[in-house]
Structure 1
Amino acid sequence: MSAPWLADIAERTLDAGLHREPVIRQPGAAEINLASNDYLGLSTHPDVIAGAHAALDTWGTGSTASRLVAGTTAAHVEFESDVADFLGFEAALAFSSGYLANIGAITALVGRGDLIVSDTGAHASLIDGCRLSRARVVVVDRGDAAAVARALAERTEERALVVTDSIYSIDGMIAPLRDYHRAAVDNGAILLADEAHALGVRGPGGRGVAAEHGLSGAPGLVITTVASKSLGAQGGLVLGSHLLREHLIDHARTFIFDTGLNPAAVGAAHAALRVLRADPAMPDRLRAGVRRLAEACGGEVPDAAVVSLIVGDPVAAVRAAALCREQGVFVGCFRPPSVPEGTSRLRLTVRADLNDDDLDFVAGVVRGALREVGAA
């Protein structure tokens, strides 16, 4: 492909310290992984692996079609029913990823001539859903429920949707979900809250922020979440009423036209949900580890499982992450546009299966790397 502008963009991206390359993991690598979102460490749990194997033996490697053609197995329906029961909603619908779940839900609920109120902490999948919906979008400061209420009250559109992450993915802080929900309900709107980073982390038995705030199954509330983080598998979910599920089946393009979630991921996610049900103290152990690591690294203790350590310069952040990897610790490195300019950072995601010795070792490595790049 001959396109000189591609080379120009590549050079500018490299000069700004924003070039990215996938990090390739090797089997059996002797490193502690704090870059994943495997919060409960269930991706390698023997029961979860067995669940994937059982689904492979029963259904094969792929779902073979879209969910509406031949891609829905009994395993999909059983998992949807069980996760809805666990989270306290009437129904759930599984998508092949959390990204597609958010885009599908937003574009099925609002469109041209409607309003979306989004806060500045919204994940890229929510932002893209807003754009694709063609609705008018008002963006308010993260956590500003009064601004949400004003935007809804002043609208001229009949239908309106509020979108937010319940736990902001960059720094692990919690959104004022109860206040957002009240603002939505009082103004005849719906709240869609992405609980991707809350399932297995917050709430009774890991049921999320909505459950923690007593909102499970509440009218005017739609929840999206994923099987790819605390459940250690793959896939996205939308939860709400039976009527919402039927609406999404009829109108969510990312459900209608996408190949269904593969059976192995369904089997693994369902097995992980059973593990979480059987050990409801897992989220408590996770958050205790988060506190230990955050305090040892000198960072702010978050509400969830993400420890965010600001470096500032993107080149320094990349170097700090590389130094950690050289010492056997794999950490996340977030740079613009994932975070605002000047706030490039190391992002450490704690797992419930790490012990105190693991966390103390990680803290020592991270502190040393930050000192080396002048960010300690």
Structure 2
Amino acid sequence: MEPEKRAQPHHPIAAASTSRWSDLAREAAEQLRAQDRWRVIRTLADTGVRSRLADGRAVVQFASNDYFGLSEHPAVIEAAIAATRRWGTGAGASRLVVGSRPIHDDLEAALADWKHAEAALLFATGYAANVGVLVALARLGAALGAPIGIVSDELNHASIIDGIRLSAAPFNIYAHADAEAARQRVVEHLDAGRRPVIVTDSVFSMDGDLAPLGDLAQLAAETSALLVIDDAHAVFAGCGADLVASAPSRGGAEVVVVGTLSKSLGSLGGFVAGPTALVDWCRNTSRSFIFSTATPPGVAAAALAALEVLQGAEGVELTAKLRRNVDVLAPAQASAVVPVVVGTAERALEWSDKLLERSMFVPAIRPPTVPEGSSRLRVAVSARHATGDLEALREALADLRRLDPTT
């Protein structure tokens, strides 16, 4: 007699979930569309502030973070071409496996000098740099039996938020740009026996406002905390990590600067700059560095050439031009990011579409990138914009406000 076959139990979730994964994705996508949160990637035929849409329409774009237009600079382009011809289009593997090209070493030395640091380390992206440094710092604390506690501004970049999560370190959040609130959070970690790490953007990417770096540096010095600054959007003197670059101005605080090659320098990649011992530790423990292919030589060469332009006489002129351009739209703004907050995601999309009808490409920024009720147009000003471009945008925004006075 054959043994009795027992029915296999069905897991309740498996029994209930009969839809295909693609069907689930379509259903979830419809929910995002209903909330005006669905994203599509727009194709532009040209680079730079003057571009064309895929249908051939000419537009002036106010979306790019290439604030000085250095991705189009002849010296930057030629440097990328020369390095690519010499070393090829790719680096081959992680630098810990295949080694560096001389251009990597040269760029790291230049970046360290730029940020007034002892050393610097290249990462594939700025996102990877933020994730890498925070995970490495958590491993440092764990290795020595001195766990860290992270103190983070509530409006920090998504890469910082993800880095905190991946670090698995205890963390708390302080009210935006409030140094006294940060102090309270630091004390909470100290009381729990943790070494504080304060992390903040220097210029916040969606609002364009500044962190109180001087106060945070003083707080770090008083409490032996480490101050980590994401300097990605700093373009003007006095608004970025240069505020706390020298020992006297930071009161002896230890500072690590995270930067990007893709904004002011018009290339691609990120870096961590700071004390040699901490940079060496990142080189050995930052998984986003260890397990990523190195920056292509041509990309590194472009960044180095852009940095040379930016630090020379032409860079002074470009910075002054960028400042004048920002002043056309927002004289009090301390960065090249000018937010136009309109409230709902629907209104942000409508305004963006109306500007596109006037040949201006200004992206709508919606939740979850920004908090609910604060959807906006994010205007990125470039030194390459003509004064007339900005005056036309200013007039168009004024027209939209007159037509929609609820904003």
TM-score by length of 2: 0.85
Q: What does 1:78-157 align with in structure 2 at a 5 Å threshold? A: 78-111=106-139, 113-155=147-189, 156-157=192-193
Report the equivalent of 1:69: 97
| 2:55 aligned partner | none
> 1:323 & 1:370 partners in 2: Cα distance?
12
In 1, the alpha carbon distance for the partners of 2:25 and 2:403 equals 34
Is 1:338 the counterpart of 2:369? The answer is: yes
Cα offset, 1:71, TM superposition: 5.1
Q: Name stretches of at least 5 consecutive residues in structure 2 with no aligned partner.
A: 1-18, 53-57
Displacement, 1:236? 0.2
1:323-345 per-position Cα deviation (integer Å, ceiling 9, x unaligned): 22232211121100111111110
**Which whole-Å CA distance do the structure 1 matches of 2:99 and 2:322 have between them?**
35
Which of 56, 59, 63 does residue 87 from structure 2 map onto? Answer: 59
Partner AA of 2:274 in structure 1: G
Alpha-carbon displacement from aligned partner over 1:284-305 (angstroms, at most 9, x marks no partner): 321221121236xxxxx32100
Give the direction of change, closer, same or farther, for the CA distance of 1:372–1:41 in structure 2 (3 Å limit).
Answer: farther
SS at match of 2:316: coil
Shift of 1:237: 0.9
Question: Equivalent residue for 1:298?
Answer: none
**Is the radius of gyration larger for structure 1 or structure 2?**
2
Comparing 281-290 with 260-269, which one deviates more in the overlay?
281-290
Unaligned runs of 5+ in 1: 296-300
Q: Quick one: distance in 1 between partners of 2:99 and 2:361?
A: 36
| Structure 2 residue matching 1:21: 3-state secondary structure | coil
Deviation digits for residues 39-69 of structure 1 (CA, Å, limit 9, x no counterpart): 1111111111111111111111111101111
**Is residue 366 of structure 2 the alignment partner of residue 324 of structure 1?**
no
Query: Does the CA-based 8 Å contact 1:55-1:263 persist in structure 2?
Result: yes
Partner residue in 2 for 1:312: 343
The aligned length equals: 366
Q: Secondary structure at the match of 1:143?
A: coil
Identity of aligned residues (%): 38
1:175 is matched by which residue type in structure 2? A
Equivalent pair of 2:65/2:380 in contact (CA under 8 Å) = yes
Report the counterpart of residue 33 of structure 2 in structure 1. Answer: 14
How far apart in 1 are the matches of 2:406 and 2:300? 42
Instruction: Work out whether residues 52 and 268 of structure 1, in 8 Å CA contact, stay in contact via their aligned partners in 2.
Output: yes
TM-score using structure 1 length: 0.92
Q: 1:257 deviation in Å?
A: 0.6
Contact 1:171/1:302 (8 A) holds in 2: no
Question: Residue 234 of structure 1 aligns to a residue in which SS?
Answer: coil
- Deviation larger for 178-187 or 161-170: 178-187
CA contact (8 A) 1:110 1:160 kept: no
Per-residue deviation at 1:34?
0.8
The 2-side partners of 1:147 and 1:365 are apart by 39
CA deviation string 1:205-242 (max 9, x = no partner): xxx62213554796410000101001111000100011
Q: Does 1:288 align with 2:324?
A: yes
Q: 2:116–2:245: 8 Å Cα contact kept in structure 1?
A: no
Question: 2:303, 2:198 → 1: CA distance?
Answer: 28
Q: CA 1:135–1:277 in 2, change beyond 3 Å: closer, same or farther?
A: same
Counterpart of 1:190 in structure 2 is 226
Amino acid in structure 2 at the alignment position of 1:325:
L
For 1:371 and 1:36, locate their aligned partners in 2 and report how far apart those are by CA, in whole Å: 27
